[in-house]
Chains A and B, each alone.
Chain A
Amino acid sequence: MLAYVIRRLFATIAVMAVVAFFVFSLLYLTPGDPAAVIAGDAATSDDIKRIRANLGLDEPFLVRFGGWVWALLQGDLGVSIFTNLPVTHLIGQRVEPTLALTLCTLLVSVLVAVPLGVLAAARAGSWSDRAVMAFSVLGFSLPVFVFAYILITVFSIELRWLPVQGYRNFAENSFWDWLRHLILPSIALGTVYIALIARITRASMLDVLAQDYIRTAQAKGLAPAPVLVGHALKNAAIPIMTIIGIGIALLISGAIVTETVFAIPGIGRLTVDAILRRDYPVIQGVTLLFSAIYVVINLLVDLSYMLFDPRIRF
Chain B
Amino acid sequence: MNRSLRIFAAACLAAAATGLAPWAPAHAQQKVLKFIPQADLRILDPIATTAYITRNHGYMVYDTLFAMDEKFQVKPQMLDNYEMSKDQLTYTFTLRDGLKFHDGAAVKAADCIASIDRWSKRDALGQKLAEATASWTAVNDKTFTLKLKKPFPLALEALAKPSSNVPFIMPERIAKTDPFKNIEDPTGSGPFKMVKAEWVPGNKVVYVKNTDYVPRKEPVSWASGGKVVKVDRVEWIYIPDSATAAAALNAGEADWWEQMPPDLIPLLAKNKDITVKNIDPLGSMGMIRFNFLHPPFNNPKMRQALLYAVNQQDYVIGIAGDPKNGKPCYSYYTCGTPLASEISAEPLKGARNLEKAKQLIKESGYKGEKIVIIDATDQPIVHAQSLLTLDMLKRLGLNAEVQAGDWGTLITRRAVKEPVEKGGWSIFHTWLVGPDMVNPAVNFPIRGTGEKAWFGWPTDSKIEELREAWFNASDAASSKKAASAVQQRAFEFVPFIPTGQFILPTAFRSNISGVIIAPIAFLWNIEKK
Contact = CB atoms under 8 A, between A and B. Distances in A.
Interface of A: 31-33, 36-48, 50-51, 54, 80, 82-85, 90, 93, 149, 152-153, 156-157, 160, 163-166, 171-177, 260-263, 265, 269-270, 273, 276-278
B25 A172 contact: yes
Given A31-B405, A165-B253, A261-B241, A276 B378 contact: yes
Nearest to A263: B239
Contacts of B17: 174-176
Given A31-B413, A176-B19, A41 B203 contact: no
A261 B244 contact: yes
Contacts of B51: 40-41
Interface residues of B, number: 66
A112 to B, nearest CB: 24
B250 A42 contact: no
Contacts of A177: 19
Contact of B180 (A47, A83, A163): A47
Contacts of B247: 152-153, 156-157, 164-165
Nearest to A171: B23
Contact of B21 (A47, A160, A174): A174
B200 A265 contact: yes
B49 A40 contact: yes
A263 B253 CA distance: 12
B473 to A, nearest CB: 24
B430 interface: yes
A115 B274 CA distance: 45
Interface stretch (B223-231, B307-315, B392-400, B451-459): B451-459
Given A39-B50, A265-B200, A270-B202, A149 B407 contact: no
Contact of B244 (A85, A164, A173, A277): A164
A152 B436 contact: no
A38 B202 contact: no
B253 A273 contact: no
Given A156-B251, A263-B241, A269-B240, A42 B164 contact: yes
17 contacts: A33-B408, A36-B408, A37-B411, A40-B51, A42-B432, A44-B453, A45-B457, A152-B247, A153-B247, A165-B248, A166-B253, A174-B18, A174-B19, A260-B241, A265-B202, A273-B202, A278-B408
Given A32-B408, A42-B444, A263-B244, 15 more contacts: A31-B405, A32-B409, A41-B432, A44-B453, A54-B181, A82-B201, A83-B43, A83-B44, A84-B44, A84-B184, A160-B251, A172-B23, A176-B16, A273-B40, A276-B406
Contact of B201 (A45, A83, A276): A83
Interface string B405-443: 111110111010100000000000010100010000000
Looking at B43, B124, B237, which has the most chain A CB atoms within 10 Å of its CB? B43
Interface of B: 13, 15-21, 23-25, 40, 42-44, 48-51, 54, 122, 124, 164, 178, 180-182, 184, 200-204, 237-241, 243-244, 247-248, 250-251, 253, 378, 405-409, 411-413, 415, 417, 430, 432, 436, 444, 451-455, 457
A276 B180 contact: no
Contacts of B436: 42
B408 A260 contact: no
Contacts of A163: 251, 253
B432 to A, nearest CB: 7
Nearest 4 CB-CB pairs, A to B? A40-B50, A265-B203, A82-B42, A33-B412
Contacts of B24: 172-174
A156 B23 CA distance: 26
Contacts of A262: 244
A222 to B, nearest CB: 36
A36 B412 contact: yes
B184 to A, nearest CB: 5
Contacts of A90: 201
B16 A175 contact: yes
B411 A165 contact: no
Contacts of B54: 40
Contacts of B241: 260-261, 263
Given A33-B415, A54-B181, A38 B43 contact: yes
A7 B291 CA distance: 57
Nearest to B25: A172
Nearest to B19: A174
A157 B237 CA distance: 19
Contacts of B415: 33, 36, 45, 48
Nearest to A156: B251
A174 to B, nearest CB: 4
A299 to B, nearest CB: 31
A19 to B, nearest CB: 22
B16 A263 contact: no
